[in-house]
A and B are shown apart, each in its own frame.
Chain A
Amino acid sequence: MTEEIQKKLQKEFELFNNLKKEYLKAVSQRQQLDSQMNENKAVKEELSLLKKDAEVYKLIGPVLVKQDLEEARQNVAKRLEYINKEMKRSDGHISALENKQEAVHENLNKLKSNLDNLKITA
């Protein structure tokens, strides 16, 4: 009986650790999106401040390629939209992982107390 619970405990523990790793990864991804969004927002603002005839270039590899200002604005807006969507997805993913983690944590505690009870009665 004890052995069985111990095995279960180990399994749950592994699950917990994996979830934790996944969670940390998701959080750092979310942070990256956040900083990307801030950078894009700053660029959007800057582009909106430019005069109509201002020249805009995009760095592609080692060269600067001239871009149409309107096109650049649209591109940044599109990218912001995409990042926003990704952020929502990421938020959902994170909260799902949080819930899962909590459930596994509860399971772990239950198993632990089971084990303790067995030890006391043994």
Chain B
Amino acid sequence: MEKDYFSEMSTISSAPAPGMHQIDLSKLNLQQLSKLKQQLDQELNVFQDSLQTLKIAQGKFVESGESVEKITPETKGKTILVPLTGSMYVPGTIIDTDNVIIDVGTGYYAQKDIEGAKDYFKRKVQFVTEQMEKIQMMGIEKSKVREAIMMMMEMKVQAQAQAQKATAS
């Protein structure tokens, strides 16, 4: 059910976190750089996981939205199979084709008419998509920083090797 995804849909702000400040990468030593890279890798992993979860949530909302489309006044009185569990069904009849009950999170379910339900799922899909875009943008930024760190590390290693060579000869 969608319930578990509500918590994942936290509003993601793209503003820099307090305490974040600019660092001159060239002033860090190799150890600090690799630590920073590790940190970034971890953050990027969290982003990937969040994206995955949001994608699943998005899929569920899209699916529900499509499902609502199928309920029209013509479906009134038609029989359907109602899933009791994932693998057991009982026959049922659609009586009310005007309203559906939607899980809105934290255990609350609200009755909405078909138009309202369509609007609800549309809004949710849009919201999730926005959050995903935000994460993607943040991921791109972090990847850039990560690349810069990698480059700086490479430069430092080379400089070190050259210095060693110079003292050896």
Question: Are the C-beta atoms of B104 and A43 separated by less than 8 Å?
Answer: yes
Q: Count of B residues near A, CB < 8 Å? A: 18
A34 at the interface (CB under 8 A from B): yes
- Complex formed: what's the CA distance from A38 to B5 in Å? 11
In the complex, residue of chain B having the shortest beta-carbon distance to the beta carbon of A69 = B110
A1 at the interface (CB under 8 A from B): no
A54 smallest CB distance to B (angstroms): 6
- Complex formed: what's the CA distance from A72 to B109 in Å? 10
How many residue pairs link A and B with beta carbons under 8 A? The number is: 65
Please name all residues of chain A whose beta carbon is closer than 8 Å to the beta carbon of B9 when the two chains form the complex: 38-39, 42
Which of B8, B10, B101, B105 is within 8 Å of A43, CB to CB? B105
Interface flags, A42-60, vs B, CB<8A=1, else 0: 1100110010001111111
Q: Count of A residues near B, CB < 8 Å? A: 23
A101 at the interface (CB under 8 A from B): no
For the complex, would chain A's binding face be called helix, strand, loop or mixed by DSSP majority? Answer: helix
Question: Are the C-beta atoms of A58 and B104 separated by less than 8 Å?
Answer: no
A53 smallest CB distance to B (angstroms): 10
Interface flags, B45-80, vs A, CB<8A=1, else 0: 000000000000000000000000000000000000
- Complex formed: what's the CA distance from A79 to B107 in Å? 13
- Complex formed: what's the CA distance from A58 to B103 in Å? 9
B155 smallest CB distance to A (angstroms): 30
In the complex, residue of chain B having the shortest beta-carbon distance to the beta carbon of A40 = B106
**Most chain-A CB neighbours within 10 Å: which of B10, B101, B108?**
B108
Question: Are the C-beta atoms of B7 and A35 separated by less than 8 Å?
Answer: yes
Chain B positions near chain A (C-beta within 8 angstroms)? 6-11, 101, 103-112, 120
18 CB contacts below 8 A, A to B, read: A34-B10, A38-B6, A38-B7, A38-B9, A39-B6, A39-B7, A40-B105, A42-B104, A43-B108, A46-B104, A46-B110, A47-B104, A47-B110, A56-B111, A57-B109, A59-B103, A59-B109, A76-B106
